[in-house]
């Protein structure tokens, strides 16, 4: 097999698994609450720990990618997911399932960033965004599997069996990356030098353009993941009172939108420019959130369209990595993209947990269902934060150190 193709496929499989684990709790939320005695706030906190673990390792991951390369760094982290799956599957209370969820997030933290690092040396510079978005689009199909197929598997075998089986799949994926990829083509430099390492994160965090990009990734990725991978499911259960399979079908449409958006945003950015594509995508993402604020929810057919558009435009957050990548030399790309990714997954942690706190402040009915007002309050708070940060992103900033950035 062509080595570049192997890099593309094997990292794509790893990212597929990452998306599966991110989204899994949305479908099995009611089962987790029932089997483990969790409240809405508990569920939001526990689910957000995937992103907390993910975010916690981003900065050291960036250094590892620049120094030892994705071939070793990524599969080493994935072993943590294997342990996390086993803990999650055998948990009997909140503490165990929380630790398991955290370890799953830590283990999946390197899949996308490792691919971005590897693609930078395996593919032509003007095609990196296209190949990255294509790989992410294919990998995002993991969230599709975490919708209707997971709902069926959960009904047939239970969520514990699903996570036990997932541990073995992750182990095979890690072995594939370690044995089937290389850090770079022969003779192509990729490792950061000691001189380049000096002041690496300091240089990144002193860049004023970075402080326009990173906060937008905080709210954009954070909101998309908070809704897609958790709160859309309880919203459908509680407000529309849909059964699990029908809920899975609607969640599948969010994931289909995400996969389509990831696969196409790179080509759109190559055609129209990264910044213009980011601006257009974010405006549409804001619009796509408004149906969730209606006091009388949309019927499922109309909500299906809204969910697809939410996922499609939410996926354009991927271009935040492309936008920051062009600000820094190749030796700093690993740290630059992981720094931006740190903000995105910190946002997912904070927003997902915060939504749970807001929803949990309302009184559920006898069946444990929260009222539509609870979800309007949670989704409305997220939308308000998105608008404020997008306005900050649009604020003009001087180009630093002669680096050219499209306006």
Residue ranges of domains in the chain, CATH in brackets: 3-181+203-394 (1.20.1250.20)
How high is the pLDDT of residue 186?
A: 87
How high is the pLDDT of residue 1?
A: 58
More confident call, 382 vs 342: 382
Cα 194 from Cα 192, distance rounded (Å): 7
- Considering 70-84, 133-147, 333-347, the range whose residues carry the highest mean pLDDT is 70-84
More confident call, 380 vs 269: 380
How high is the pLDDT of residue 113?
A: 87
How high is the pLDDT of residue 194?
A: 54
Could you tell me what percent of the chain has a pLDDT over 70?
95
Q: Which two tokens stand for residue 108?
A: 């999946």
How high is the pLDDT of residue 203?
A: 87
Q: Is the pLDDT of residue 196 over 60?
A: no
What is the pLDDT averaged over residues 93-105? 97
Instruction: Sort residue 271 into left (φ over 0), alpha (ψ -120 to 50) or beta.
Output: alpha
Cα 140 from Cα 260, distance rounded (Å): 9
Task: Convert the pLDDT of each residue in 334-348 to its tens digit.
Answer: 788 889 989 999 999
More confident call, 149 vs 335: 149
Q: Is the pLDDT of residue 326 over 50?
A: yes
How high is the pLDDT of residue 403?
A: 45
- Considering 60-64, 329-333, 374-378, the range whose residues carry the highest mean pLDDT is 374-378
- pLDDT tier at 192 (50, 70, 90 boundaries)? low
Length of the chain equals 407
Mean pLDDT of the chain: 90
Find the distance separating the first CA and the last CA of the chain, reported in whole Å: 40
């Amino acid at each position: 097999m062509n080595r570049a193709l192997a890099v593309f496929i094997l990292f794509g499989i790893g990212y597929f698994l990452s998306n599966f684990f991110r989204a899994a709790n949305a479908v099995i939320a009611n089962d987790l609450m029932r089997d483990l005695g969790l409240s809405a706030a508990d569920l939001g906190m526990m689910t957000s720990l995937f992103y907390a673990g993910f975010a916690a390792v981003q900065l050291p991951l960036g250094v590892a990618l620049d120094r030892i390369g994705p071939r070793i760094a990524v599969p080493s982290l994935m072993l943590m997911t294997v342990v996390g799956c086993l803990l999650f599957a055998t948990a009997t209370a909140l503490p165990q399932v929380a630790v398991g969820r955290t370890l799953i997030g830590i283990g999946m933290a390197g899949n996308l960033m490792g691919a971005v690092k590897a693609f930078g040396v395996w593919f032509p510079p003007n095609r990196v965004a296209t190949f990255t978005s294509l790989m992410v689009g294919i990998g995002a199909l993991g969230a599709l599997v975490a919708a209707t197929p997971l709902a069926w598997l959960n009904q047939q075998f239970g969520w514990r069996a699903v996570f036990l089986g997932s541990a073995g799949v992750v182990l095979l994926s890690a072995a594939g990356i370690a044995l089937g990829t290389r850090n770079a083509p022969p003779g192509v430099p990729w490792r950061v030098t000691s001189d380049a390492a000096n002041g690496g994160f300091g240089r990144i965090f002193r860049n004023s353009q970075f402080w326009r990009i990173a906060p937008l990734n905080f709210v954009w990725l954070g909101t998309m993941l908070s809704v897609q991978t958790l709160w859309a499911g309880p919203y459908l259960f509680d407000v529309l009172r849909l059964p699990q399979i029908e809920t899975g079908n609607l969640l599948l449409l969010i994931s289909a939108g995400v996969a389509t958006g990831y696969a196409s945003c790179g080509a759109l950015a190559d055609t129209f420019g990264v910044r213009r594509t980011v601006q257009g995508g974010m405006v549409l993402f804001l619009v796509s959130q408004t149906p969730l604020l209606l006091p009388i929810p949309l019927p499922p057919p109309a909500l299906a369209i809204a969910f697809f558009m939410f996922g499609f435009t939410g996926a354009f957050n991927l271009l935040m990595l492309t936008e920051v990548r062009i600000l820094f030399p190749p030796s700093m790309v690993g740290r630059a993209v992981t720094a931006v990714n740190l903000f995105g997954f910190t946002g997912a942690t904070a927003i997902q947990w915060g939504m749970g706190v807001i929803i949990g402040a309302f009184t559920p009915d006898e069946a444990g269902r929260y009222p539509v007002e609870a979800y309007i309050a949670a989704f409305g708070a997220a939308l308000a934060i998105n608008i404020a940060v997008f306005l900050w992103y649009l604020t003009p900033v001087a180009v630093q150190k002669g680096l050219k950035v499209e306006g």
